[in-house]
């Protein structure tokens, strides 16, 4: 029971619904007002969104299309190199062109000799991919510091080939040599398996974190062991008997 001087309760259903409606209307009005208050960004006519990369310069585009020549002098592709060589030939006499080709051959041979010398010295930049890395360098030193029966693989192969060619004239010698060759091949096989296992054991002990596979290292070591010492590339850095 309410006394006359008490105010009505605000929690009545009608009052709550009216309050919610007024609040919703206020929110909608505020949202509309806020939407209308945000100005839309004006774009200039012909505006294009960014491509995510810098726009190439006109000179670079013309060099790429072949409109002008690259000031660096280096052709960008084989077709451009052939076109420049053709233009150069047209600008020379027959004798000048012969002299130019002779000098070009000499320069090519000189670069090849320098690259081969650097490869023999074991410079990493000039090595083949199969020879690069400290693990492969260690394997080469490991093989070069030892003697193997497999060092005679190439001489034995040449002798067997010669015997096969002369077998019809000397059948007895051919039979004996063939039997000896089969025995040597078996020896080479056994030594190759032992060599691969030994070099892998040494590599795992020195480079425990290496990712080289055992078969790849074993094959690399055996292929070097079958080459004559003077024919190996890179050249041996250690002597036979040295401690690696």
Q: What percentage of residues in the chain have a pLDDT greater than 70?
A: 74
Global pTM value:
0.62
Over residues 172-181, the mean pLDDT reads: 83
Q: Is the pLDDT of residue 64 over 60?
A: yes
Instruction: Give the Cα separation of 160 and 154 in Å (integer).
Output: 10
**Do the Cβ atoms of 119 and 126 come closer than 8 Å?**
yes
Confidence at residue 84, expressed as pLDDT on a 0 to 100 scale:
80
Higher pLDDT, 57 or 134: 134
DSSP state of 1: -
Q: Assign residue 116 a region: left if phi > 0, alpha if psi is -120 to 50, beta otherwise?
A: alpha
Look over the chain and give the mean of its residue pLDDT values, rounded to a whole number: 80
Higher pLDDT, 31 or 138: 138
Q: Is the pLDDT of residue 125 over 80?
A: yes
pLDDT band at 17 (very low <50, low <70, confident <90, very high): very low
Q: Which of 139, 101, 107 is nearest to 234 (CA)?
A: 139
Q: Is the pLDDT of residue 132 over 50?
A: yes
pLDDT in tens, 180-217: 888 999 999 999 999 999 999 999 999 999 999 999 99
Higher pLDDT, 189 or 25: 189
Number of neighbours of residue 241 by Cβ within 10 angstroms = 8
DSSP state of 218: H
pLDDT band at 161 (very low <50, low <70, confident <90, very high): confident
Please name the residue ranges forming H helices in the chain.
13-37, 58-65, 78-90, 94-121, 134-144, 153-166, 171-206, 214-225
Over residues 10-22, the mean pLDDT reads: 47
């Amino acid at each position: 029971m309410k006394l006359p001087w008490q105010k009505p309760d605000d929690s009545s259903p009608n009052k709550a619904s009216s309050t919610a409606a007024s609040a919703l209307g206020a929110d909608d009005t505020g949202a509309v007002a806020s939407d209308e208050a945000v100005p839309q960004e004006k774009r200039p006519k012909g505006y294009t969104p960014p491509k995510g990369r810098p726009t190439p310069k006109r000179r670079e585009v013309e060099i790429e299309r072949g409109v002008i020549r690259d000031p660096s002098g280096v052709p960008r592709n084989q077709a451009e190199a052939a076109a420049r060589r053709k233009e150069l030939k047209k600008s020379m006499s027959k004798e000048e062109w012969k002299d130019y080709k002779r000098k070009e051959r000499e320069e090519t041979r000189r670069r090849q000799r320098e690259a081969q010398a650097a490869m023999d010295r074991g410079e990493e930049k000039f090595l083949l991919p199969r020879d690069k890395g400290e693990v492969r360098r260690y394997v080469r030193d490991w093989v070069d510091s030892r003697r193997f029966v497999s060092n005679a693989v190439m001489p034995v192969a040449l002798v067997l080939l010669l015997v096969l060619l002369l077998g019809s004239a000397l059948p007895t010698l051919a039979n004996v040599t063939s039997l000896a060759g089969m025995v040597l091949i078996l020896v080479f096989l056994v030594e190759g398996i032992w060599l691969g296992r030994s070099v892998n054991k040494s590599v795992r002990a020195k480079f425990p974190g290496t990712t080289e596979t055992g078969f790849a290292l074993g094959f690399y070591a055996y292929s070097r062991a079958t080459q004559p010492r003077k024919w190996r590339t890179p050249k041996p850095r250690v002597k036979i008997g040295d401690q690696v």
